[in-house]
Each structure stands twice: as C-alpha cells, then as structure tokens.
Amino acid sequence: MAIVDEELPQELLMEILSRLPVKSLLQLKSVSKSWYVLIQNPSFISLHHTRARLYYCASIYVRNLNNNNFQRSMYLLPDQTSIEHLDLSFTRPHLDKELFGMKSCNGLMCLSTDSNIVICNPATRECRLLPQPPYHAWRTNYLGFAFDSKTSDYKVVRLATLSETTLVDHKIQIYGMSADSWKEIVATVPNHDFTVRQSPCKSFDGVFYWLSYNPSTRHAIDALNTVEGSFERRSLPADVSSDGQINLYLLNDSLALIGRKCHNRETRFDVWLMDEFGVEFWTKKYTIGPLLGRYSLLGFWPISEVLLDGFEKGKIVSYNHSTHYIEEYKQICDLPEPNLMTQVFPYSESLLSVKRPVDLA
C-alpha cells in the first residue's frame, strides 16, 4: 500500500531527493521516466548542489614506488577521522601521463597532462576530452577553470608559451563548454618570463585572476579580462612581506591574498582582500595567528577556518581563527617518502553533466 495517497507535489519530491548523494540519484533514475527527467532538470541539479555535503578535498603528490615518479592522488576528508580516496580512474583513457594541472569548480574538475585537457565530474564519473587547442605549447604557463557568470558557461583559460627560443610567442586561449571550442584572446602579456603559482581562479564578470612570479618583478596579480581582451599586471600591497609563501585564495566570492611569516617558531598569516571597485586595490588587512609551530597554508575557508599543513608532521590541521580551535585530521598517507601536499580545496558533489549534447542524444 502506498504511504502517500497520491504522488507528492514535484516541489516536495525535489525537497526530499535533493538531499541524496549523486550515486543514489543515478540509481533512482531507473525508478520511473518522470524521476529520470526530474533528476536531469537544471533547477533540481542546482538545488542538489547547494545542499550537497561540503568536503575538504586534498590533492597530494605521492611517489609511485614502481617507477619512482610522483603521481597526484585526491582524497575527500568528510571529518577528522575518515578519508575517502576520490577515484579518478575513469579519466585514465585520456590522462595516462602525469597530471600537470588540476582545477575544481562547482563539483567539476579540469585536469590536464602535457598533451590532454579534460573536464570531468568525479561524482557521475563523466569525462569530456577537450579538443586540442589551436596552438601547441612548449610550456603551458597557466590553466584556469571557472564558471563565468557573465555567460553562464564553464570556461578553461590557457596561457601558453609557444617555443623555448622566443619567449614572446605567448598565446591566450579560452575554451567554452557550451560551444565546445577554443577561442583566441588577443591581449598583450607584459612580461613573459614568469610562472604561475598554484592558485585558485575565479571569473568575476569574465575576469580571471592568478598569482604570477617573475625573478625581477617578484610576485604580482595578473588579471585577464576575457570580455575586453585585456591583460593587466598589478603589484601586491606595499607592505606585504613574507618568508616566500604567498597564496591567493577565494573567500566569500572575493580574492584573498595571504602572506605567511614564520618567526621564533611562530607562524602567522596576513590576509588582504581584493576590492575591485575601491581606490586601493587591496583592503582590510587582518592577521591569523600567531600559531605555535611552523605551518603552511593549504586552503582558506569561508567559515573562519584555515587548513594548515603541520610542518614536519605532514598532517592536515584545521584552525578556526575566531575560536582559536585547532583540530588535527587523520594522516592521509603513511608512506616512507615525503608527500607533497599541494592544496586542499572545497568540493561538493554535483549532478551536472559534462557530456556533449550530441553524446546525450
């Protein structure tokens, strides 16, 4: 006998189903045709993503003992005591070499080797191999992946040096997921001899930001306006001084620049927020810490929380800078070789499909 006398209103069915993990929803698609349609409905997908559990996702380089190469692995940390390996083996047909880049946005990830770029959804195990960019790169300086609110599209930005001999041959290309094609952006990049640090990217109205480094000009913030095709290099706040660790993070939809200082076995982090419309580009400096011991910053969380790599311990530690509460996470790897923890970023599952429309038909 049915529990409800008639079918639930769609709105309440969405209330209930939006609280299930992606794997369960993929199973439930075979309950009925109307459920199949609902689970693929864009407003359901978006409701589900806002409710999906927020994980810390840790990306780590681990030395492969068979061939001595470093390989990247990803782990989800639901709480202090558990670790789930994030299985990305479904991308292997396209990414059989060492991963060069990894960017995450709204539950999707953009992964690349020196020859291929894919956008994948680890929750649905869907993967899209991007068409080859129009220029072969001698070196890819930057690969960004972000949701562009201006065009409601996911975009990949690639900054490539074309040859070793002429560093001036620099090309910027943008891939749009809906058009499924690359487009060249004509913009002049002022100084080509630079590298881009691991940094998150967010497209604010079509502008991508990243932190770059050049031996003579040191660190700078690069802003690429994909709408106007302009490129701008901005200097860091005058009073930023650090022991070398400077990072760029996303905090509540703003860019935050964080410089670390270690002194007398104490670590503190100075935080600047970017104000795009202010007279001063950087505002609101505050300091996290001091914390006893040496720490590296792995991630920066909206809820007064930073994730730290406990120096010499190889452990992830979360620190709440309002309550000063420190929590240690379970050690992810127990390998004799040192592991290189590259970053920890927020990850929530999504049902969003990355398949091409033609593949869905």
Partner 1 sequence: MASSIENNNEKLTLKSSDGEEFLVEKHVALQSTLLQNMLDSDCSSADVIPLPKIDARTLALVLGYCKKHADASSSKQGELNSFDSEFLKDMDMGALFNLVLAANFMEIKGLLDIAAQKIADTIKDKPHQEVREIFHVENDYTPEEEAAVREENRWAFEGFP
* Minimum distance from residue 180 beta carbon to partner 1 (Å): 21
Question: What SS3 class is residue 196?
Answer: strand
Pairing label, strands 117-121, 207-214: unpaired
* Minimum distance from residue 35 beta carbon to partner 1 (Å): 7
* Minimum distance from residue 128 beta carbon to partner 1 (Å): 16
* Minimum distance from residue 289 beta carbon to partner 1 (Å): 28
Closer Cβ to partner 1, 21 or 134, answer by number: 21
User: In angstroms, rounded to a whole number, what is the distance separating the alpha carbons of residues 336 and 341?
Assistant: 15
Closer Cβ to partner 1, 101 or 122, answer by number: 122
User: In angstroms, rounded to a whole number, what is the distance separating the alpha carbons of residues 282 and 349?
Assistant: 33
DSSP tag of 79? S
DSSP tag of 338? P
CB atoms within 10 A of CB 143: 23
User: In angstroms, rounded to a whole number, what is the distance separating the alpha carbons of residues 105 and 115?
Assistant: 22
* Minimum distance from residue 359 beta carbon to partner 1 (Å): 11
CA angle, corner 340, sides to 334 and 343, nearest 5?
110
Which residues contact partner 1 (rule: CB under 8 A)? Answer: 1-8, 11-13, 15-17, 19-21, 23-24, 26-36, 124-125
User: In angstroms, rounded to a whole number, what is the distance separating the alpha carbons of residues 97 and 348?
Assistant: 26
Q: What is the number of residues in the chain? A: 361
Closer Cβ to partner 1, 40 or 116, answer by number: 40
